[in-house]
Amino acid sequence: LIIFIPAESEPRVAASPETVKRLVGLGFEVVVEAGAGTASRIADDEFAGSGAVIGKAADAGKADVVLKVCRPTAAELKSYRQGAAVLATMDPYGKDAEVAAMAKAGITAFATEFMPRITRAQVMDVLSSQANLAGYQAVIDAAYEYDRALPMMMTAAGTVPAAKVFVMGAGVAGLQAIATARRLGAVVTATDVRPAAKEQVTSLGAKFIAVEDEEFREAETIGGYAKEMSKEYQAKQAALTAEHIAKQDIVITTALIPGRPAPKLVSAAVVASMKPGSILVDLAVERGGNVEGAVPGKVVTTANGVKIVGHLNVAGRIAASASLLYAKNLYAFLETMVDKETKQLAIKRDDELVKATMLTDAGKVVHPAFAKVAE
Ligand code: NAD
């Protein structure tokens, strides 16, 4: 079995010296494209030292398995063998043509971000491992843009007040943002639409603020995600948070709804009500954004001197950590799909992890959420 790890168009890489060592230990041949780990501070020598062969992009053509960070490009698809298994964060919503192209290329594509949030699959949960780091990095990015100190400092020359940080969306990224802001000494509040978030927020020492009506009590899906809230709820939520946001120094938004555009939580009028020098970090910017005026990939300064941070691929801003965790997630999943005796790929198509993540197989789009679109 040959496993290929390409260099990506972004800083992260889908293998680490540790995962290469494990794969080689299982008896597989691992080929890493030269320079693949550079932006994650993993030198080719380190991969080689763990047993990988350092190769080139064209080596993808002989691989049975390709481990990737991003969805394969058209050119990459052309280079793969028919029947190759490709594991990546496929980001397939609204990308019907790209999904169809993967089917046409004959690859068995796995969208690793669809891994069910069940105990057995925790070690394979790329959304959690990357969101956790993104939540941390969002606070670091906010602190970098903020021109005051975050903790309260009582000095002989006077007192610096603690920064007020409000985190909107208390899932994996939001909870880590809360914890990080607390560690930096900020006074932290947070909101979410799922009732389960309340206890998690308060257990981290932050105050929970939300419209806790009937709809709120039913906002969590069986999968643990948020539903898209009604117009009425959104209006009540906006009214409740508007006044609060005006008093904040830093607002970090992380709210997402699977398969839907991100909910708009902060209007331009609310941004305009904030004090000059305040910071908004919109972690949902790639999915349409929670903050009106956030620009993907840019730090914008509004007319009233508020900065809106819209960095893309925030986990990639902390690539050396993100790659190690991502690589481990993919390794753990791949390990469930290989036969250690025959040393061959043995995909169990009735396994719930496979069913949840497999997008294309044997020339067809097989994932229920996308199969219809492709017909
Ligand atoms: P996500 O990235 O889909 O969304 C981020 C947060 O935004 C969520 O908490 C969501 O409720 C919130 N949100 C959505 N709409 C909102 C709105 N209008 N206003 C305010 N907040 C809004 O979520 P996630 O971080 O992937 O986590 C989803 C859930 O899965 C959480 O309950 C998390 O604890 C759970 N989880 C479980 C496991 C596990 O058991 N293995 C692993 C990871 C996550």
For 89-115, the pLDDT digits (tens) are 999 998 999 999 999 999 999 999 999
Give the count of beta carbons closer than 10 Å to the beta carbon of residue 98.
17
pLDDT per position as a tens digit, 50-61: 999 999 999 999
Q: Is the CB of 168 under 6 A from ligand 1?
A: yes
Residues 6+ apart with CB under 8 A from 102: 71, 72, 77, 86, 90, 109, 359, 360, 365
Rg, the chain, Cα only: 22
Distance 115 CA to ligand 1 centre (A): 14
Q: Is 236 in the pocket of ligand 1 (CB under 6 A)?
A: no
**Taking residues 287-316, what's their average pLDDT?**
98
The residue written with tokens 């990737």 in the block is: 68
3-state secondary structure 278-336: CEEEECCHHHCCCECCCCCCCEEECCCCCEEECCCCHHHHHHHHHHHHHHHHHHHHHHC
Question: Is ligand 1 within 6 A of the CB of residue 259?
Answer: no
Ligand 1 neighbourhood includes 135 CB (under 6 angstroms): no
Smallest CA-to-CA distance from 8 within 319, 325, 311, 329 is with 319
CA–centroid distance for 47 within its chain: 25
Q: Dump the DSSP string for 333-346.
A: HHHTTEETTTTEE-
What's the confidence (pLDDT) of residue 373? 53
Q: Is 141 a catalytic residue?
A: no
Residue having the nearest C-alpha atom to atom 7 of ligand 1: 255
Atom from ligand 1 closest to the CA of residue 118:
41
- Using an 8 Å Cβ cutoff, are 322 and 133 in contact? yes
Structure tokens belonging to residue 307: 């900065």
Backbone angles phi, psi at 81, to 5 degrees: -75, 145
The answer to whether residue 125 is catalytic is yes
> Which residues lie across from 282 on neighbouring strands?
253
ipTM of the complex: 0.95
- Catalytic site includes residue 117: yes
Beta-bridge partners for 266? 291
The three-state secondary structure class of 215 is: helix
Judge whether 200 counts as a catalytic residue: no
**Mean predicted lDDT score pLDDT of the chain:** 96
125, 141, 192, 361: which one is catalytic?
125
- Contacts of 97 by beta carbon, 8 Å cutoff, 6+ apart: none
Say if ligand 1 is within 6 A of residue 221 CB.
no
Does residue 360 surpass a pLDDT of 90? Answer: yes
Binding site membership of 255 for ligand 1 (Cβ less than 6 Å): yes
Q: Is 90 exceeded by the pLDDT of residue 367?
A: yes
Element spanning 196, H or E: helix 196-203
pLDDT digits (tens, 9 = 90+) for 163-201: 999 999 999 999 999 999 999 999 999 999 999 999 999
At 96, list the tokens.
Answer: 């019907």
Residue 262 in contact with ligand 1 by CB distance below 6 A = no
Nearest to 4 by CA among 52, 79, 89, 63: 63
254, 266, 267, 314, best to mutate for ligand 1 pocket (most atoms within 8 Å of CB): 254
Give distance in angstroms: CA of 172 to centre of ligand 1.
Answer: 6
pLDDT of residue 371 exceeding 80, the answer is yes
For CA atoms 54, 57, 58, 59, give the dihedral sign. Answer: positive
338-339 and 279-282 strand pairing: unpaired
For residues 338 and 346, give the distance between their C-alpha atoms in angstroms, rounded to a whole number.
Answer: 5
